[in-house]
Amino acid sequence: MQIPSEILDILNKLSQSNFEGYIVGGCVRDLLMKNPHHTPKDWDIATNALPEQIQAIFPDSVYENNFGTVAIKTESKDPTLKIVEITTFRKEGKYTDKRHPDKIKFAKTIEEDLCRRDFTINAMALSLETQNLKHKTQKRGSKLLVANYKIIDPFKGQKDLTKKIIRAVGNPHERFQEDGLRLMRAIRLACELSADWRIEEQTLKAIKENSSLLSFISKERIRDEFIKIIETPQAAKGILLLEETNLLKEITPELTKTIGVTQNKHHIYTVWEHLWRSLDYAAKKNYSLEVRLTSLFHDIGKPQVKQGEGKDATFYGHEWQGAKIAARILNRLKFPRNTSEKVIKLIRYHQFVYDPEITTDAAIRRLLVKVGKENIKELAQVREADRIGSGCPKALPFRLRHFLFRVEKVLKETEGEQPSLKILEINGNDLIRKFNLEPGPKIGAILSILLEEVLDNPQKNNKKDLEKIAEELVKLPDDELQRKQKLAEKKYRNLLEEEETKIKKKYYV
Ligand code: ATP
Ligand code: MG
């Protein structure tokens, strides 16, 4: 078992003061899974020391709650170890409000403490043989191999771990009635751990029967679990599980209204099936939270605006309606403003039309202003997910690739990324002053030739070198200067075309 030295330090200190200390919770589960993708996100320790006693042993700590959890600062460079939480053994009290236990009662043994935990795979404790390590000084920031350890596993969590089953500790009904958030935690875990994890039958049944308990849970806590589900590669599995267990109706009833809503001759799936399939693609492609949420919600307005039935049904304005409904959902769930604003924009414009032959640069610029150029890549990703979610074979057809090419081209042009006279370290006025010239075409000609020089030799882009070249140009007869100017401008046009070809190549158009 590989244990960070910071954790061993803490366990040693507890043991030197004659207290018990165990590694508990999600990190034990993650350690036993031996999956490199599931390394512990945080480390929790349980002890029989009381909060005051913990603080006496670890002066650099904070105790700011009533749950017996003291946060220890470790000076570790590893963000998962900077703060380690030590919690006094607890047993669960009565939950009259279905949210918090009425009173925290401390327990005497680790076994009692494990009883209050939610799922069998989270209810294991690791006891290390710290005796042998006691007097060794440890280097900070290293992991040490610990050979002597004991797993305390009264609910057969290890067995469920190998069988990939989420099972409530003890009576699932009681568990969920104590804390309704566990309803979502079960599904979140089933998604986070990996695709083939499932929820044990009785536990699943109890989630369904207790789904209304979610109404006692704060929107913020629901939102956090919802985000965690959406951010796993198994997001679509999570949404289907939320639906199957009736939890989706508690979180986003608007989404369940799309179930069974058929579309028209252009679609093979109902709105609901299309939405979760779109999300599935976005999650598998590891796209941003906003692209995932948009994929899930983009057609949520369709049931409200549907006209007609069968192959000719229409959904005019569903993008407006959808943006409005999504705004309501995201506000209700207290999503941060930048997230909801982006999602609302992406839904509002997900129907953008692009035709390589017809769409003008001006139309693209207008779209860029409306959606925001920082969101345009994600808009194309939404379109990809939308296509795959509709059953199309190709995510990025010629048209969509061509759209991205045009966007990049328009952006380069409007943002002046292409080389222009502006990059020169000398301007027309400088030339007029230096060489006593009259304003006129001669100035433009000299500048064009200088730009060409600089594009070939960027190191010449300084006042001294440019003036030296200009000095020679000023002496030339007009027709010779014009000839040189034409040549320079032709080379410049070639360069722009080359740039365009490069962007085209990037998008295979
Ligand atoms: P994560 O990987 O998100 O950290 P975790 O299982 O470690 O998952 P934490 O929120 O860190 O979750 O909680 C640590 C442990 O505390 C859990 O493993 C579980 O034993 C217990 N626990 C957390 N929340 C609950 C809850 N709502 N009900 C019962 N036990 C809980
Ligand atoms: Mg944890």
pLDDT in tens, 13-23: 999 999 999 99
| Residue 401 identity | R
- Asked if 31 contacts 40 with a C-beta cutoff of 8 angstroms, the reply is yes
Task: Categorize the per-residue pLDDT at 419 as very low, low, confident or very high, splitting at 50, 70 and 90.
Answer: low
- Asked if 314 contacts 264 with a C-beta cutoff of 8 angstroms, the reply is yes
The alpha carbon of 426 and the centre of ligand 2 are apart by a number of angstroms equal to: 61
The alpha carbon of 30 and the centre of ligand 2 are apart by a number of angstroms equal to: 9
Atom of ligand 1 nearest to the CA of 42: 4
Per-residue confidence (pLDDT) for residue 454, from 0 to 100? 87
Per-residue confidence (pLDDT) for residue 499, from 0 to 100? 81
Atom of ligand 1 nearest to the CA of 44: 14
Pocket test for ligand 1, best of 114, 118, 160 (most atoms within 8 A of CB): 118
Report the alpha-carbon distance of residue 318 to residue 302 in Å, rounded: 5
Pocket test for ligand 1, best of 30, 80, 91, 117 (most atoms within 8 A of CB): 117
Q: What is the DSSP letter of 438?
A: P
Q: Considering every ligand atom, which ligand is closest to the CA of 180?
A: 1
Q: Is the model's pLDDT at 502 over the cut of 90? A: no
pLDDT in tens, 248-260: 999 999 999 999 9
Q: Considering every ligand atom, which ligand is closest to the CA of 30?
A: 1
Q: pLDDT over 70 for what percent of the chain? A: 95
* Domain ranges for the chain: 2-163, 168-251, 268-414, 425-506
pLDDT: is 99 or 409 the higher one? 409
pLDDT in tens, 430-451: 999 999 998 889 999 999 999 9
Atom of ligand 1 nearest to the CA of 123: 20
Report the alpha-carbon distance of residue 70 to residue 81 in Å, rounded: 14
Same fold, 168-251 and 268-414: no
Q: Which residues of 319-337 are buried (b: 16+ CB within 10 A; e: fewer)?
A: bebbbebbbebbeebebee
Task: Categorize the per-residue pLDDT at 298 as very low, low, confident or very high, splitting at 50, 70 and 90.
Answer: very high
Per-residue confidence (pLDDT) for residue 431, from 0 to 100? 93
The alpha carbon of 286 and the centre of ligand 2 are apart by a number of angstroms equal to: 23
Per-residue confidence (pLDDT) for residue 236, from 0 to 100? 98
CA 435 to chain centre: 59
Ligand 1: list residues with CB < 6 Å. Answer: 25-26, 41-42, 44, 117-118, 122-123, 179, 181-182, 185
Atom of ligand 1 nearest to the CA of 117: 30
pLDDT in tens, 89-123: 998 766 666 666 667 789 999 999 999 999 999 99
**Atom 16, ligand 1: residue with shortest CA distance:** 25
Per-residue confidence (pLDDT) for residue 135, from 0 to 100? 45
pLDDT: is 457 or 348 the higher one? 348
pLDDT in tens, 145-157: 787 899 999 999 9
Q: Indicate the pTM of the whole model.
A: 0.84
168-251 belongs to CATH 1.10.110.30: yes
**Atom 5, ligand 1: residue with shortest CA distance:** 26
The alpha carbon of 502 and the centre of ligand 1 are apart by a number of angstroms equal to: 51
**Atom 18, ligand 1: residue with shortest CA distance:** 25
Reported CATH class of domain 268-414: mainly alpha
Per-residue confidence (pLDDT) for residue 36, from 0 to 100? 79
Q: Is the model's pLDDT at 394 over the cut of 90? A: no
Per-residue confidence (pLDDT) for residue 65, from 0 to 100? 83
- Asked if 91 contacts 117 with a C-beta cutoff of 8 angstroms, the reply is no
Half-sphere exposure of 491 (CA within 13 A, CB side): 15
pLDDT in tens, 242-294: 999 999 999 999 999 999 999 999 899 999 999 999 999 999 999 999 999 99
Mean pLDDT of 225-233: 98
Pocket test for ligand 1, best of 122, 126, 161, 181 (most atoms within 8 A of CB): 122
**Atom 8, ligand 1: residue with shortest CA distance:** 26
Q: Per mean pLDDT, which range of 155-169, 178-192, 400-414, 461-475 is the poorest?
A: 400-414
Q: pLDDT over 90 for what percent of the chain? A: 76
Reported CATH class of domain 2-163: alpha beta
The alpha carbon of 110 and the centre of ligand 1 are apart by a number of angstroms equal to: 16
Per-residue confidence (pLDDT) for residue 479, from 0 to 100? 93
Per-residue confidence (pLDDT) for residue 187, from 0 to 100? 98
pLDDT: is 134 or 161 the higher one? 161
Q: Considering every ligand atom, which ligand is closest to the CA of 26?
A: 1
Q: Is the model's pLDDT at 83 over the cut of 80? A: yes
pLDDT in tens, 173-197: 999 999 999 999 999 999 999 899 9
495 burial type by CB count under 10 A (0-12 exposed, 13-18 middle, 19+ buried)? middle
Q: If you write DSSP's letter for every residue of 122-143 in order, what string do you get?
A: GS-EEEE--GGGTT----TT-E
